[in-house]
């Protein structure tokens, strides 16, 4: 199988055209992080890159994956970060056999299911579970957007398709401006809908991670515990065992609620992806507080693709000493800062490896050079 990191996937889905080209900054992220899949690829897999990065690995750490890296597509099975029409058009131009990628009908279904508006149906199915909450509405006109803002007060507006942390606007009746109205109008014109939901008092961000198997059905893989910045952009995953993450969650909500949500999601997601998708997917959730009570929002967003939570889960299971704790982070450095950070961390927090697993310290998962802007790394306490 060929594994491929294409972080522009969500923006390509938003555009929807076969000749989409991502912004230069996203292309830079893709280039700097292109070798990240060597750490989560399966046995016998290879990793496809467009251009080999110029940075350097830390050869002093005996922990590098033995995964072939290729620069051309072959007729093998392909596992990208996510499927979109632009990637399929590229594969067709390269002469990759059609059996290696979704049909047009499957791709259209994947795009539909990747839209944030699909969360509404899942939220309704999950309301059968006690101890959960959360509501979203789909708006198709500016009048409906205005009604939602008046109904919810402090409101989060979401475009149906966008990159992580993008396409989100916080607003209320008091902060509504012409700029917000212009943004909302553009989303309605280009994507046909806009999501609106209340801004909740969030305590914890986490996700349940799943895999849709080729033979049919969706199975639960594990948890991921993550942090975002004030704009909703992904920052890092906390590396812990599933048992430790579940213990942190059950300090606020009953374990039976988590198990019931997992069961409903396996059933509903299996129905969703039948005949169109096989691969990784995740459902972002959060624990919220209202007064002295805590409750679970079981479906903030569905990622019908590989995601950083699954990467963190696989990294922990394969490369980190069992029971150790730390972080998996993806960072954006200012110009010239990446190499200085890398050298400083190597000097002060050198990686310690026991039995082929990182037990302490810092390990860059992607090469770092003088012009690196994006980097993924592990740090174990």
- Given a cut of 80, whether residue 99 has pLDDT beyond it is yes
Cβ neighbour number for residue 240 with a 10 Å cutoff: 21
What local confidence, expressed as pLDDT, does residue 198 receive? Answer: 96
Q: What are the tens digits of pLDDT across the range 68-79?
A: 899 999 877 899
List, in order of start, the domains of the chain with CATH numbers.
Answer: 2-110+320-380 (no CATH), 115-132+200-309 (3.30.470), 137-198 (3.30.1490)
What local confidence, expressed as pLDDT, does residue 181 receive? Answer: 95
- Given a cut of 90, whether residue 42 has pLDDT beyond it is no
> Which of the four pLDDT bands, split at 50, 70 and 90, describes residue 221?
very high
CA-CA distances (angstroms) from residue 170 to 153, 174, 283, 288, 345?
10, 11, 22, 18, 36
- Whole-number Å distance between alpha carbons of 149 and 127: 23
Residues whose CB is less than 8 angstroms from the CB of residue 340 and which lie 6 or more positions away in sequence, other chains included: none
Say if CB 77 and CB 2 are below 8 A apart.
yes
The stretch 332-361 carries a mean pLDDT of 93
What local confidence, expressed as pLDDT, does residue 137 receive? Answer: 95
The stretch 20-41 carries a mean pLDDT of 94
Share of the chain above pLDDT 70, in %: 97
pTM above threshold 0.95: no
The stretch 179-198 carries a mean pLDDT of 95
Share of the chain above pLDDT 90, in %: 85
The stretch 69-94 carries a mean pLDDT of 93
The stretch 372-379 carries a mean pLDDT of 95
Q: What are the tens digits of pLDDT across the range 295-332?
A: 999 999 999 999 999 999 999 999 999 999 999 999 99
Residues whose CB is less than 8 angstroms from the CB of residue 322 and which lie 6 or more positions away in sequence, other chains included: 241, 357
What local confidence, expressed as pLDDT, does residue 62 receive? Answer: 62
User: Which of 68-77, 136-145, 280-289 has the least mean pLDDT?
Assistant: 68-77
What local confidence, expressed as pLDDT, does residue 55 receive? Answer: 62
- Given a cut of 70, whether residue 148 has pLDDT beyond it is yes
The stretch 53-61 carries a mean pLDDT of 63
Tokens, residue 145: 């957007």
Please give the residue that has the higher pLDDT: either 42 or 360.
Answer: 360
Angle at Cα 122 formed by Cα 169 and Cα 236, nearest 5°?
50
Please give the residue that has the higher pLDDT: either 244 or 164.
Answer: 244
Report the chain's mean pLDDT, rounded to a whole number: 93
- Given a cut of 80, whether residue 63 has pLDDT beyond it is no
Say if CB 30 and CB 6 are below 8 A apart.
yes
Tokens, residue 12: 């390509």
Strands ordered across the beta sheet of 46-48: 69-70, 46-48, 2-4, 78-80
């Amino acid at each position: 199988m060929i594994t491929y990191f294409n972080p522009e996937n969500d923006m390509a889905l938003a555009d929807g055209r076969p000749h989409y080209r991502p912004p230069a900054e996203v292309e830079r992220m893709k280039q700097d992080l292109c070798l990240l899949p060597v750490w989560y690829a399966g046995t016998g897999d290879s990793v496809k890159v467009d251009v080999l990065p110029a940075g350097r690995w830390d050869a002093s750490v005996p922990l590098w994956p033995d995964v072939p890296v290729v620069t051309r597509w072959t007729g093998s099975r392909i596992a990208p970060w996510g499927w979109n029409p632009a990637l399929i058009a590229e594969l067709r131009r390269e002469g990759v056999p059609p059996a290696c990628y979704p049909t047009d009908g499957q791709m259209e279904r994947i795009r539909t299911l990747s839209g944030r508006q699909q969360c509404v149906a899942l939220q309704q199915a999950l309301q059968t579970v006690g101890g959960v909450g959360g509501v979203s509405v789909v708006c198709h006109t500016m009048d409906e957007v205005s009604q939602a803002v008046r109904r919810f007060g402090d409101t989060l507006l979401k475009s149906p398709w966008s990159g992580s942390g993008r396409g989100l606007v916080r607003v209320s009746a008091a902060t509504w401006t012409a700029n917000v109205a212009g943004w909302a109008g553009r989303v309605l014109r280009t994507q046909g809908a806009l999501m609106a939901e209340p801004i909740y008092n969030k305590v914890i961000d986490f996700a349940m991670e799943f895999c849709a198997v080729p033979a049919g059905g969706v199975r639960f893989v594990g948890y991921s515990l993550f942090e975002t910045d004030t704009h909703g952009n992904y920052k890092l995953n906390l590396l812990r065992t599933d048992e430790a993450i579940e213990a942190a969650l059950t300090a606020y909500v009953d374990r039976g609620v988590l198990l019931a949500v997992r069961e409903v999601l396996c059933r509903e997601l299996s129905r969703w992806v039948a005949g169109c998708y096989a691969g990784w997917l995740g459902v972002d959730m959060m624990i919220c507080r209202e007064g002295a009570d805590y409750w679970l929002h079981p479906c903030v967003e569905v990622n019908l693709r590989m995601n950083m939570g699954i990467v963190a889960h696989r990294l922990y299971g394969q490369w980190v000493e069992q029971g150790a704790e730390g972080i998996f982070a993806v960072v954006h450095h200012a110009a010239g800062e990446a190499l200085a950070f890398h050298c400083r961390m190597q000097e002060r927090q050198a990686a310690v490896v026991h039995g082929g697993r990182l037990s302490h310290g810092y390990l860059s998962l992607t090469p770092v050079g003088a012009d690196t802007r994006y980097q993924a790394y592990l740090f174990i306490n």
